[in-house]
Structure 1
Amino acid sequence: MKFYYFARGVVKSILGPLYRIEVQGTEHFPKDGGVLLCSNHINNLDPPVVGISCPRPVAFMAKEELFKAPILKTILPHVHAFPVKRGMSDREALRTGMKILKENNVLGLFPEGTRSKTGKLGKGLAGAGFFAMRTDAAVVPCAIIGSYKPFRKLKVVFGPPVYLERLKEEKANAEAVTAEIMGDIQKLLDEHR
Structure 2
Amino acid sequence: MSFYSRSKRRFAWLIRALFRVKLIGAENEPEDGTFLICANHISEADPLILGACLKHNPRYMAKKELMKVPVIGKLITALGAYPIDRGGNDVAAIRKTVDFLKNGESVIMFPQGTRCRGVDPAETRFRNGCALIAARAGVPVLPIYIGTKNFRVRLFRRVTVKVGKPISCDEITGAETGREDFASGASLVFSRIIAAGKDE
TM-score w.r.t. the length of structure 1 is: 0.92
Whether 2:189 is the aligned partner of 1:181: answer: yes
Q: Is the CA contact 1:141–1:184 (under 8 Å) kept in the aligned structure 2?
A: yes
> What secondary structure, in the 3-state scheme, does the structure 2 residue paired with 1:184 have?
helix
Q: Is the CA contact 2:128–2:186 (under 8 Å) kept in the aligned structure 1?
A: yes
Amino acid at match of 2:161: V
Structure 2 residue aligned with 1:150, among 143, 155, 166? 155
Q: Is the CA contact 1:22–1:153 (under 8 Å) kept in the aligned structure 2?
A: yes
Distance in 2 of aligned mates of 1:35 and 1:113 = 19
> What secondary structure, in the 3-state scheme, does the structure 1 residue paired with 2:22 have?
strand
The unaligned stretches of length 5 or more in structure 1 are: none
Superposition pairs for residues 11-22 of structure 1, below 5 Å?
11-22=11-22
Structure 1 residue aligned with 2:175, among 168, 175, 184? 168
Distance in 1 of aligned mates of 2:76 and 2:21 = 23
Q: 1:107 to 1:160 in 2, by over 3 A?
A: same
2:101 counterpart residue number: 101
Q: Is the CA contact 1:101–1:137 (under 8 Å) kept in the aligned structure 2?
A: yes
Cα distance, 1:178 vs structure 2? 0.8
2:135 counterpart residue number: 133
> What secondary structure, in the 3-state scheme, does the structure 1 residue paired with 2:107 have?
strand
Whether 2:77 is the aligned partner of 1:70: answer: no
Distance in 2 of aligned mates of 1:56 and 1:107 = 10
The number of residues matched between the two structures is: 192
Cα distance, 1:82 vs structure 2? 0.6
Q: Is the CA contact 2:138–2:169 (under 8 Å) kept in the aligned structure 1?
A: no
Distance in 1 of aligned mates of 2:167 and 2:176 = 15
> What secondary structure, in the 3-state scheme, does the structure 1 residue paired with 2:199 have?
helix
> What secondary structure, in the 3-state scheme, does the structure 1 residue paired with 2:196 have?
helix
The unaligned stretches of length 5 or more in structure 2 are: none
User: Cα RMSD between the aligned structures?
Assistant: 1.6
2:39 counterpart residue number: 39
1:110 counterpart residue number: 110
Distance in 2 of aligned mates of 1:104 and 1:160 = 20
